[in-house]
Structures are given as structure tokens and as C-alpha cells.
Amino acid sequence: MDGILLMVEEHKYIKRMLMVIRKASYGLLKGKDIDYDDFAKMIDFVRSYADTHHHGKEEKMLFNRMIDEMGGAAEKLVRFGMLVEHDMGRLHMKELEEALQKVKEGDDEAKIDVIANAVSYANLLNRHIDKEDNLVYPFAEKGLARATLDKINEECETFEKTMEEQSVQKRYLEVLEELESKYVK
């Protein structure tokens, strides 16, 4: 298994969910009611699939090795770029969840915070994914030793098998398809 290629493939699913989030937000802007269950599914996808499953591999298998093995530029790129953006995404999800709760409790003005955080997350992650696919991953492939890349591939394969046994990928791709059928026409 090519771990980096797998991460690129996962980005395609994440970008599809970003489109769902954007379309759902546009619906709110046009006056549709919030479907709290759907937003809960979007947040769960982001936290469980995009963050825990995907970013977990980046943070535990790739980025740390880039810093250790490649030093300087890799460290700046990872610590002050990619990891900061991962944290910003987590903040947008936390604030989105809080805004949804406020609306549910009757604060109609918090709808703007729902839209702002959802769209900000989608915009952030779209740019983030483009940087990883076009800069970070190629930089890692060129700069890391073959043995290091082989170790990353091994770890990704083991991790993916464990997640498949728990049906993680299958479950979240089904959620994605369900929400796409509702929001992306």
C-alpha cells in the first residue's frame, strides 16, 4: 500500500463532504430550516473520518517523520502550516456545534455563526488539501528515505485493515453518499 497515495484518495472523499457542507449552508442562507441530524452527521464525518482517520495518519505517521528526518523547511511547513490548519479546522467544528446548539435553543441570530463556521471550515480544508496534494506530499516523497516511506506504507496498511474491520471507511462513505444525495444535486 502506498500510504501517501491513500491520503490523496481520502482527500477526494473529504472534498465531497466539503461540498455537502457548503450546499447545506447555502440552503440555510436561502431560508431552509436547519436539519440538525444532517449537521450532526457532517460534524461526525469531519471529526471521525477527516480528522481522526485521515489527519491521524498524517500526524502520527507522516508529519512527525518529515520533521525528524528532513528538518528545517519540513518543520516549518508542518508545525506552522499543516498542524495549525488542522487545529483551525477543529476550532471551526467546535464553534459550528456551539452555534447549532444556540439556534436550537432559540437564538436565531446564531444561524450566521452556523453558516460562517461551516463555510470557513470548507474553505480552509479545500485550500489545505490542495497544499498537501501539491506541495507537502511531493516534498515528503522526495525528501524522506525509501525505508521511511516503506515504514509509513506498512503502518498505513495495518491501520487501514484495523479500520476496515470496524467498518469505519464503509460507514463514512455511506454517510457521505446519503448527504450528497440530499444536498448536492
Which tens digit of pLDDT belongs to each residue from 149-176? 999 999 999 999 999 999 999 999 999 9
Number of domains in the chain: 1
**What is the pLDDT at residue 185?**
79
Average pLDDT in the 60-82 region?
A: 96
Alpha carbon distances (Å) from 27 to 31, 70, 114, 115 = 6, 45, 12, 10
Tell me the C-alpha distance between 161 and 134, whole Å. 27
3-state DSSP assignment of residue 157: helix
Amino acid at 10: E
Which CATH number belongs to the domain containing residue 170 in this structure? 1.20.120.520
Question: For residue 55, which of 96, 25, 11, 98 has the smallest C-alpha distance?
Answer: 11
Contact 172, 47 (CB under 8 A): no
CB-side neighbour CA atoms (13 Å) of 105:
7
Which domain covers residue 90, as residue numbers?
3-183
Which grid cell is 8?
490523496
Q: Structure pTM?
A: 0.96
